[in-house]
C-alpha cells in the first residue's frame, strides 16, 4: 500500500479504490501504479479519508470517474477524414496553378 494508513477511509472508499485499481490493471497498468492512481482518484473525489463527526462531510465530485476510460481522438470517421484531406489537396493544387 502507498504511504499512510487507510484506517480513516470508509469501507465504501476502500471498495471504490479497489474497483478503480482493477480497472487500471485490466488496461495494463502495473499493480503499484494502479493502486497509486486509484487512491489519488478516491482522494480527489471525496477529499481524503472520511472521519466521523457532525458537519465534517462535503459533497463528492465525480468528474474524474465520469472522465475515466474515454479514449481521445477525432469524432470524425477515418473515411470522412481521408475524404477531407483529398478535397483539401485538390483545392491547394488547383489554386497553386
The reply to whether 90 falls in a domain is: no
Residue 45 grid cell:
473525489
Please indicate, yes or no, if residue 67 is contained in any of the structural domains: no
Residue 24 φ/ψ region, left for φ over 0, alpha for ψ in the -120 to 50 degree band, beta for the rest: alpha
Asked, for residue 56, whether it belongs to a domain, the answer is: no
Joined grid coordinates for residue 46: 471525496
pTM of whole model > 0.85? Answer: no
Reported confidence tier of residue 34, pLDDT bands at 50, 70, 90: very high
List pLDDT tens digits, range 42-89.
888 887 777 666 556 677 787 777 776 666 666 788 899 999 999 999
Res 35: pLDDT: 93
Question: Would you report the helix, strand and coil content of the chain in percent, each value rounded to 5?
Answer: 60, 0, 40
Count how many domains the chain has: 1
What confidence score (pLDDT) does residue 97 get?
A: 74
CA–CA gap between residue 97 and residue 94 (Å, rounded) = 6
Amino acid at each position: 500500500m502507498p504511504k499512510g494508513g487507510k484506517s480513516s477511509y470508509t469501507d465504501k472508499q476502500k471498495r471504490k479504490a479497489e474497483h478503480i485499481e482493477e480497472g487500471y490493471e485490466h488496461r495494463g497498468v502495473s499493480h503499484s501504479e494502479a493502486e497509486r492512481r486509484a487512491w489519488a482518484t478516491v482522494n480527489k473525489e471525496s477529499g481524503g479519508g472520511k472521519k466521523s463527526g457532525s458537519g465534517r462531510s462535503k459533497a463528492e465530485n465525480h468528474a474524474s470517474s465520469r472522465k475515466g476510460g474515454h479514449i481521445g481522438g477525432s469524432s470524425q470517421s477515418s473515411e470522412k477524414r481521408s475524404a477531407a484531406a483529398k478535397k483539401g489537396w485538390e483545392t491547394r493544387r488547383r489554386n497553386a496553378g
